[in-house]
Amino acid sequence: MTQEDTYIQYNRYIGRPNVLLPTVLFILTVITTMASGALFEGVDIFSNPIMILRGAPFSFSLLLILGTHELGHYIASRRHGVITTLPMFIPAPPIPPMIGTFGAVIRIKSPITTKRELVDIGAAGPLAGFVFAIAVTAIGLKYSTIVPLAYSEGSIGLGTSLIFKALTYLALGPMPEGSDVVLHPVAFAGWIGFFITAMNLLPLGQLDGGHIVYAIIGRRHRLFSFTMVGLLIGLGLWKWPGWIVWAVLITLIGLRHPPIEDQYLPMDARRRTTTAIALLVFALTFIPTPFYIV
């Protein structure tokens, strides 16, 4: 066997994704998200475990959005020859207000070397998840209920993004004064999908939005990321303290972005369009105050 044959076999080996771990994690996440969905419905799954099936609509809707997001990254990576793991779902304890999962991730195992790869891989996940979040939300809002605001007093309220507000108006019409919407679990899954899309498109670090911003501004990315961290901390002091936690976590993970080969060359028209669409989606899904007490 020649050295070249050995190199080819080695690359085929490291490029072959592990199936067992992602499958086990996915099954566990199906169970935990179904349990969370059933608990949101007020079902006592501990005395009657079969009632966990009541959480299936929430689980299916949420995992559809999360899975589509990560598959978008995975497919774009494979198209460009970038080696990644399969999407891996992370189960979480089904204890309200938790949703039964910490999300899903893929791990990139080989370098991203060009702007074309960076934009395609970074934007594919959020854009794919966004499309499915629209569909899920539109269906879920049809089964949601408008109630007097007093009915919701003392509960945790959900902030509204521009896209969620528009879909609510289309599905339910103008909101009467002094009223609120009790979301069907499927609509709640859609809301989570939009929220996760915005979080991933934050333009800093090595988040999806960070990849896109690096393709636009290159080495100035790190300074821009520090600026965004400061803005998040300010937003956390003003609106929602969770932004401070998120800013600290991203900073600890790292704000430096690996360099690419063509960082001094302009992007082609297709990638410029993709970055514009991704930034628009970020504006449509961002929620300054995601949670509040009614």
93 domain residue, yes or no:
no
46 domain residue, yes or no:
no
Q: How many domains does the chain have?
A: 1
Look over the chain and give the mean of its residue pLDDT values, rounded to a whole number. 91
186 domain residue, yes or no:
yes
9 domain residue, yes or no:
no
Tell me the CA distances in angstroms from 280 to 39, 55, 163, 284, one per residue in order: 35, 33, 11, 6
DSSP state letter for 175: P
How much is the pLDDT for 8? 42
Judge contact between 70 and 121, C-beta under 8 A: no
- Partners of residue 182 on adjacent β-strands: 145
Q: What is the arithmetic mean of pLDDT over 167-194?
A: 94
Taking alpha carbons only, the member of 175, 196, 83, 50 closest to residue 130 is 196
Tell me the CA distances in angstroms from 262 to 115, 117, 215, 266, one per residue in order: 7, 11, 9, 8
52 domain residue, yes or no:
no
- pLDDT of 177 > 80? The answer is yes
DSSP state letter for 84: B
Q: What is the arithmetic mean of pLDDT over 200-211?
A: 95
How much is the pLDDT for 152? 65
Structure confidence at residue 10 as a pLDDT band (50, 70, 90): very low
- pLDDT of 12 > 70? The answer is no
How much is the pLDDT for 151? 65
- pLDDT of 11 > 80? The answer is no
166 domain residue, yes or no:
yes
How much is the pLDDT for 95? 87
Residues 56, 137: Cα–Cα separation, whole Å: 16
Its domain, for residue 266, covers: 58-82+102-293
Structure confidence at residue 100 as a pLDDT band (50, 70, 90): very high
Residues 196, 190: Cα–Cα separation, whole Å: 10
236 domain residue, yes or no:
yes
Residues 155, 149: Cα–Cα separation, whole Å: 11
Residues 78, 70: Cα–Cα separation, whole Å: 12
- pLDDT of 128 > 90? The answer is yes
The residue written with tokens 């600290």 in the block is 248
Count how many residues are written for the chain.
294
Residues 112, 118: Cα–Cα separation, whole Å: 6
183 domain residue, yes or no:
yes
